[in-house]
Amino acid sequence: MKLIIDSGTTKTHWVLLEGKEISENFKTTGFNPYYTTAETIRKNIATELPENMKTREVENIYFYGTGCSTNTNCSKIKSILQGFFKNAVIHTHHDLYGAAVALQKNREGIAAILGTGSNSCLWNGNEIIENVPSVGWLIGDEGSATYLGKVLLKAFLSREMSKEITAVFYEYIRLDFEGALHKIYGEPQPNRWISGLSPFASAHIDNSEVRELVKKNFRDFLSAQIKKYNHFQEKEISFTGSVAWHFREVLREVLQEENLHPGIILQQPMDGLIEFHSDLS
């Protein structure tokens, strides 16, 4: 049996495969080994892991997780999982590696994550050979929900939008100009509120002004990330993540306008990971 684990900061997705069939499919609390202690991760898994999973004879575990970009963090996760699945061979990788496997599998191309944050890599069909650094939401994360929120806020607060859609926006956030500024500069973790504005864009995507802001979000991502890779014009570009999925029509439109080659768009990496690992002997 194979256990596939896709772990983010907020949730962890577990899928147990028996041959090509899904035997178990569930989610638990997410974690990032940079910020979560081994003891906390271990305790959460012990509490949330279904009882029947603790007696399963898992042969291989494929773990893809946020924060697993160093050998130290990979070793931490491997040690924790080994405590629950003593006879399993455990493979630990970064979530970007998991996204590349899910999207490109054995094909060369560019894999991108567009969710709350953003990231990308150049994949040679077997490993990541180049990665444009992701510098976080404050000065980067183009293409993400947080960056889209910043684009929306700048346009509306700077009076760049028509009065009609501006009134709708302020009604949506239930704040006035001063209240919005306080949310950004006067409260802790403003990125969470900012990223939460992306549903407004989804609800009003038929408005030409809002649609242009969504397209700007994607164009800025292409400039900051994709166009930094050599021969990017020739590469297939595939995407996963909530923003890529919910705005997939607009994303494809922007890629077409830029004469780029879109690959697949997945809502979550697990869909592609299941397909990939089902095909492995």
- Tokens 């399993």 -> residue: 88
How much is the pLDDT for 31? 87
**E strands, the chain, in order:** 2-7, 11-18, 21-29, 60-65, 89-94, 109-114, 118-123, 128-130, 236-240, 261-266
Q: What is the pLDDT of residue 166?
A: 98
Q: Spelled out in words, what is the top-level CATH class assigned to the domain 145-215?
A: mainly alpha
54: exposed, middle or buried (C-beta count within 10 Å: 0-12, 13-18, 19+)? exposed
In which element (H, E) is residue 76 found? helix 71-84
Report the relative pairing of strands 89-94 and 128-130 from DSSP bridges: unpaired
User: Which among 167, 137, 132 is positioned nearest to 151, based on CA atoms?
Assistant: 137
| List of residues 6+ apart from 239 with CB closer than 8 A | 103, 111, 112, 113, 114, 245, 248, 251, 263, 264, 265, 266
Q: What is the pLDDT of residue 202?
A: 97
State the pLDDT at residue 211: 98
Using alpha carbons, list the distances in angstroms from residue 210 to 60, 143, 184, 200, 237: 46, 15, 21, 9, 25
Sign of torsion over alpha carbons 176, 179, 183, 185: positive
- The predicted structure's pLDDT at residue 32: 85
**pLDDT tens, per residue, the chain with 281 residues:** 999 999 987 789 999 999 889 999 999 998 888 888 999 999 999 999 999 898 889 999 999 998 898 999 999 999 999 999 999 999 999 999 999 999 999 999 999 999 988 999 999 999 999 999 888 889 989 999 999 999 999 999 999 999 999 999 999 999 999 999 999 999 998 998 999 999 999 999 999 999 999 999 999 999 999 999 999 999 999 999 999 999 999 999 999 999 999 999 999 999 999 999 987 65
Residue 107's nearest CA partner among 278, 276, 274, 259 is 276
The class of domain 2-100+270-279 in CATH terms is: alpha beta
pLDDT at 69: 84
**Residue ranges covered by each domain of the chain:** 2-100+270-279, 145-215
Distance between CA atoms of residues 113 and 174, nearest Å? 30
> What pLDDT does residue 236 have?
96
Domain 2-100+270-279 shares a fold with domain 145-215: no
The per-residue pLDDT for 135 is 85
